[in-house]
Structure 1
């Protein structure tokens, strides 16, 4: 047998999902070239210097670091050391992180949904993974070299570890979750801690352990979080400033200042010393749905919010369905467990059937209760030791034996320990394989054998919903209300939570709407009820109504009420699911309307598919409820005379009809076992005289009910069509945006997902609209390269040439989406958010005799320096760091470098004047620029003013 043949079908589905995700994220990566040149220059530096790799320096000479902690750079650094510095070695690690994130999300969601059954769990997990993979901003950032890809992967790993920790109150998994979040801090600082409130609260409230243990476990997790996040910070603080690069983004060369100020609380208040000032005037609760962000993250956000609430309700409804029929506590232990229970002594818990006799006993919770019956020379025994124990069935003669466990998730695939083939439950009086709990088993034994599982508080599904819901709500609130620097691609941190809530909520509703519920020991589908359990419940309810005694399985009529509640839950779930599908389709229609020139034909089919899907789901639910009514033995009685323990439909029960008032000796056994009798025309096809046939024929929809064809096959087809159309209507819009994002090269510091016409433009400094979805257009006359051509409409690939509003692309790259202030003309000096693009003449000049200097050149701003550094492969000093506002170096220090012959050229540009005056940062860059202009002669090469400092 080959390895592939041993894999379950869900493995093939997962592999297909991961393969499709990898194709989407790796398709045409090289077209983006350096992507964000700011980080690409740091990767180049790290590939030449281990010191630069550790500190995250912008240049191999270790003058200044990037304005983030360096963990996200390390995979790219290592890839560049192995494969060289190029677009693929920089961007492929990001794509792999995206594929890994989808896989981890699948595993996390599937574990949370396990209580609904394996098929439901797998379906919900696949849906969650597909939602994440097709989120436009995820398709952007997992193809880009910003730190967000690493951050999202680490936080998703943390969520998986927390789900594992919550299941068994595991200290090890909890500490691992804290470690992943701590490493997220080393990727993007305080943004990683936005998930901490949800993680801590879920574990504190929902882990199955005592409060004292909760507290010390969380204390250990806090220590782990500090250690995993702080070890690099401690090393940097311990190294003398003269022996390490300057910490970019800080005003006092402090990594803690960077983490808590510029990259921390300053983002919330807008008070960021050395930053760009308040650049976001659109802060508010509707920010995620606005023109700038709606097409990047908000496609499924309304559905996620609705399904969060609906998923909680569905989980509660499942628990209610699990517990309601078994609401009575187990009987008290008796002094002599060998005596038959009261239910068997005369209350009809065991039926006297021709050819069989029954004895049953029950003991306290934690001991063993057993019931046995002998029929046709066979003995069947069912035992349970309370919730969480197994039920076994055995036979006294050779034949297959079935063992059933509360953890058996799919009864249809259960196999016998002695028979490798599949087994099916059969009526208790028929010879053949043994069954689970038959009519001779004591009802509370059946209850304990059937229901097991966690309480509602510790339910893994509810914990998962709380985890992802907390992640989404806290992060969304912070992103919506923060007053400081905010860019649309930050919202990729919401994508796993949105996808998980959609997958979990939809799967939970589907489990109810499609007619199947996962009860404690196994999934119970419509009509799939053991004949013995049905008979016991029916007889118990009738005895109570007639005053014949206490129902052994709960309050009078508990089963009919539970079944009715289940049908109501299924109908409500179908309605909510239909509403969510229509809402999502309508919202996609609205979002696509913002890009009227982008695939205009797509809007109407999505809306139509959503409406048809909703109708199909509601129709399928109606068929399911009708089918369940037709198949319910408690509702529809057989037309032939019932056995001795049942009443004909037109017979009014009397006291003499109670099993307690009948003498077994008065019963005349027949020579033929009822299971061997041939069915007559009056009997149901596929049924035995004692109840529904459990061979699986009716359950597969191949039999008939009262002569009418079963609706199961039609119901399944209608529901399948509805589910398929619902997924298509929900994912078509974001998938189209994601494909367009993958098909278009992206560069610059502020990338944006989706077609360019779909957004109002990323905000530039001062809250002004950007020129190209991400910033101001560059000043005219910047020395464009030959062959430059305008960007074609809609962000599509254009003819060979360059877009004069973007920087750094090689000839022939076609239309490209950038983003940044000073998008700058090609061949110009670059600006705040765009890398410079030196001409061939300037590149040759910078390379000449560069080995004699520490830095081949110096210029103001990290992005400007990055373009020159990537073009020449030589270190270039970034004066003032990313914004040109860091006090590095001071004028005096720069003069020392020049007099020592460590800097060859100074390259002036639009950033040369610095921004210290209006940002609260340093004005050293302005002072250095003025001193150079007064001291050294200048010449112009292309659009760049060059000063020779050597």
Structure 2
């Protein structure tokens, strides 16, 4: 299947071109990353995980090991290692993400090069590097960046397996890498498996028995590499951290519930129909207001490529098995995952679509090379290249036109460049070689101009959707859900207050839209931290905060006080349980509990939600897990004593501090 013979000397300019693409990717992913904590939910967890092996292994959100994050910890392990080298800082958290993003660009080039040649590989790498949603997620610390690297690396291993004399090792390596992807974001990593399996069966020339044996070995490797951590967490002796996001505290429940079929079927907390962050589920979801500007720029071109390849393959015999395997791998990846994301009924964040970007790059790169070859030959197929340029530039303008107040120049430039490219390509079909090549260059520029502009603007401005929790590129109209555009530090772009019509009706507040929002402490919060540190700093649990990561992240990041975010991600996990709180109080390990004051709809001190609402797709107070919150709050009110705000120098509204120990302020 090797399009470029192994050991063949590359043209002098080719390594430089790849280096330049990787350099551009590094610049986009690294520019100004020291100004953001990314997703503060994961940032706080990384700080906690760096303090003990158990917290590290489980991916604990708090340093005591009460509750984990709601994902497996592999992506966070790398960030912890970076923190150990550089110290806990914004740069240390986000640097591994940029490295992983550049590595994915490089590996995509190597995989596509073996299948479709150097030109296709360079185009594929460039497309991946410049995809807007890929740029913003690689500047964030969500696990999707590592997931993309792992599945691209698996695709490279699978591509090597197509023409290897003994392919078992390569197939097993691909399975191992997908298993590592499972420990990064669970079942989402397995979405590539249908394309991988069919591609291997078609591409490898060994007998059927040998191919099936290889896949059997790969299946064993996949299961072991996917589930070893899950098995260890189940066998770990108690006490151990509660697995965040699960119903019963186990990783098994998380896999097949909230983070598994719940994402597809809308169970486990996702809103029906997948509305909110990514719009309603359906065939055209990738073209909607929330997702079009993130990933859809080249999807019309990819559709044209795949249809033309399918028609050509049906009409011409014999079929080139090696080429067919590559098209099945990358085309199958794009179609299967695209449909899964389009029809997913559960929580669907726009940044999930970065997993489509490698396949978009591969199909685009190989497709343009094929269109160019057809363009230079007689026949109707030669018109596919101009048609591809035209529909891509037109779609770019259609997306930009949804908000002409936001950098509309990019759309106009794409259309103008596309028109010039079409004219030159039409003239070039008459045998004028230089004109033809100029038309190809202009056409490539036209189709990449707008996504490049959106990526560069996102990198330079630092404005990425709803902060680290839901990073997006593009104008405010595409954000979806409340809050609009946020700066890289998770704050609104202006004065840091809630927009008109929101808030609790009492005073302006720094907005925090779920975990990943505001990450700094107010003067009032710092007074509270200092007070608790002085009164109970040596206790095992000096401060527990109701509302989960929505309220606890900023305390964990910005202080050395041991803080427990009760309830996990959204506050609904039964961790700590009332029994655990009772035991802490009995043994004198619990100092203070903070109720109320949590932005994003955290319940108030009377056990009922206040009038602030969480973003679409987040768990509302009283929803799943609401009983656990209510039980904890009732326990606190019955077993602890309110602290007079004058004792610690705070205001009475918004923060309700309770003493649960034997301090003199009870």
Q: TM-score range with shorter-chain normalisation?
A: 0.7 to 0.9
CA 1:507 to 1:805, structure 2 compared with 1: closer, same or farther past 3 Å?
farther
Distance in 2, Cα, partners of 1:218 & 1:250: 32
Q: Does 1:200 align with 2:204?
A: no
Corresponding residue number in structure 1 for 2:460? 743
Whether the 8 Å contact between 2:273 and 2:346 is mirrored in structure 1 is yes
Tell me which residue corresponds to 1:945.
656
Root mean square deviation, CA, Å: 2.8
Preserved CA contact (<8 Å) 2:491 2:518: no
Cα separation, 2, equivalents of 1:144 and 1:107: 25
Separation in 1, partners of 2:536, 2:41: 21
Change (3 A) 1:225 1:110: same
Deviations 1:832-856 (A, max 9, x none): 6645643232333343355411223
Q: 1:503 to 1:908 in 2, by over 3 A?
A: same
1:476 Cα deviation from its structure 2 partner: 1.0
| Closer/same/farther in 2, CA of residues 502 and 829 from structure 1, 3 Å limit | closer
1:28 lines up with 2:15 in the alignment? no
The partner residue of 2:331 within 439, 445, 469 is: 469
Q: Distance in 1 between matches of 2:393 and 2:438?
A: 16
Asked if structure 2 preserves the Cα contact closer than 8 Å seen for 1:938 and 1:947, the reply is: yes
Consecutive unaligned residues in structure 2, runs of 5 or more = 1-8, 610-618, 662-666
Separation in 2, partners of 1:790, 1:178 = 42
Offset at 1:931? 2.9
Higher CA-based Rg = 1
- The match for 1:770 is 482
Q: 1:504 to 1:847 in 2, by over 3 A?
A: farther
Is the deviation greater in 864-873 or in 285-294? 864-873
Q: 2:321 aligns with which of 437, 454, 458?
A: 458
Residue 563 (structure 1) aligns with: none
Paired with 2:398 and 2:34, the residues of 1 have a C-alpha distance of 33
CA-to-partner distance for each residue in 1:698-756, whole Å, 9 max, x for gaps?
A: xxxxxxxxxxxxxxxxx232022111111111111001111121123346453232233
Give the structure with the higher percent helix: 2
Shift of 1:919: 3.1
Post-superposition shift, 1:316?
8.1
Cα 1:11/1:606, change in 2 over 3 Å: same
- The 5 A counterparts of 1:791-870 are 791-792=493-494, 802-805=495-498, 826=509, 834=517, 837-839=520-522, 840-848=526-534, 851-860=537-546, 861-870=548-557
Please identify, of 63-72 and 909-918, the stretch whose mean Cα deviation from structure 2 is larger. 909-918
- Aligned equivalent of 2:162: 166
* Residue number among 395, 401, 413 corresponding to 1:605 in the alignment: 413
Residue in structure 2 matched with residue 184 of structure 1 by the alignment: 181
Q: 1:846 to 1:836 in 2, by over 3 A?
A: farther
CA displacement 1:742-790 (0-9 Å, x = unmatched): 123346453232233341x33xxxxxx323259xxxxxxxxxxxxx996
1:637 aligned partner: none
Q: Does 1:123 align with 2:126?
A: no
Q: Within 1, Cα distance between the matches of 2:504 and 2:48?
A: 25
Please state how far the C-alpha of 1:206 moved relative to its aligned partner.
Answer: 2.6
Pick from 402, 406, 412: which aligns with 1:594? Answer: 402
2:636 to 913, 916, 932: 932
User: What runs of 5+ residues in structure 1 fail to find an aligned partner?
Assistant: 114-120, 321-454, 515-566, 624-714, 763-768, 775-787, 793-801, 807-819
**Does the aligned pair in 2 maintain the 1:276–1:919 contact within 8 Å?**
no
Aligned in 2, Cα 1:476/1:920: closer, same or farther, shift over 3 Å?
same
Q: Which moved more, 1:739-748 or 1:193-202?
A: 739-748
Shift of 1:263: 0.3
1:479 maps to which residue? 341
TM-score (norm 1): 0.61
Question: Contact 2:157/2:171 (CA < 8 Å) preserved in 1?
Answer: yes
**Using a 3 Å threshold, how does the CA distance of structure 1 residues 87 and 871 change in structure 2: closer, same or farther?**
same
Aligned to 1:155: 151
In structure 1, C-alpha distance between the alignment counterparts of 2:510 and 2:297, rounded to whole Å: 38
Question: What SS is found at the alignment partner of 1:857?
Answer: strand
Q: Residue in 2 aligned with 1:778?
A: none
Q: How many pairs were matched up?
A: 613
Match runs of 1:454-853 below 5 Å: 456-459=319-322, 461-514=323-376, 567-568=377-378, 571-623=379-431, 715-745=432-462, 746=464, 748=467, 750-759=469-478, 761-762=479-480, 769-772=481-484, 791-792=493-494, 802-805=495-498, 826=509, 834=517, 837-839=520-522, 840-848=526-534, 851-853=537-539
TM-aligned CA distance change 1:181 to 1:866, over 3 Å: same
Give the match's secondary structure for 1:182.
helix
- Summarize deviations over 1:384-434 as a string: whole Å, max 9, x none: xxxxxxxxxxxxxxxxxxxxxxxxxxxxxxxxxxxxxxxxxxxxxxxxxxx
CA deviations on 1:487-509 (whole Å, 9 max, x unpaired) are 11111111111111100111122
Q: Deviations over 1:65-118 (max 9, x none)?
A: 0000000101100010111110000001001111001101111111111xxxxx
